[in-house]
Amino acid sequence: MARPRFGHNRRMLTFVRIWLPAIVVLAGVAVMIIGGFDDIALEGGAGIIGAGLAIWLMNVLFRFGLHDDKDRDAEDAARRFLDAHGHWPDEAPPEAPAPPAPPEQPDRAASPPRSPAHAPAPRRIPRRGSQLPPRRPR
């Protein structure tokens, strides 16, 4: 099956978005006029006009939904760029960090060596979740 040409799709979209709701609303007005504006004609015409406005509103809501999809796609592309490069597309790339300076060598003659007996005891760092609440007095 051959795909329809772009111009054909554009004409159909214009018809469904603009002309179909307008034709239905005009048909509702025509029903009111032809019916002589009695109660039944007014109610029937109002129902047909409501259907035309519903068609128009569905088209508007569908177009808003398509616009949101484009925003979502752009956000996904920006996140992929962030994952690949480490910065957002609209930001400048971060500068490379400067190489660390070599540590200074202390002057060994100025301080006497420490014996293991005088060395401070290593601090015990508790693991996360291993701290218990304080005990209650008995």
The stretch 104-117 carries a mean pLDDT of 62
pLDDT at 65: 79
Question: Has this prediction a pTM greater than 0.75?
Answer: no
CA-based nearest residue to 48, from 28, 31, 33, 20: 28
Amino acid at 63: R
| DSSP 8-state symbol, 1 | -
More confident call, 9 vs 68 = 9
Query: How many C-alpha atoms does 34 have within 13 Å on its Cβ side?
Result: 8
pLDDT of 129 strictly over 90: no
Distance of CA 118 to the CA centre of its chain: 60
pLDDT of 56 strictly over 90: yes
DSSP 3-state of 30: helix
pLDDT in tens, 21-39: 999 999 999 999 999 989 9
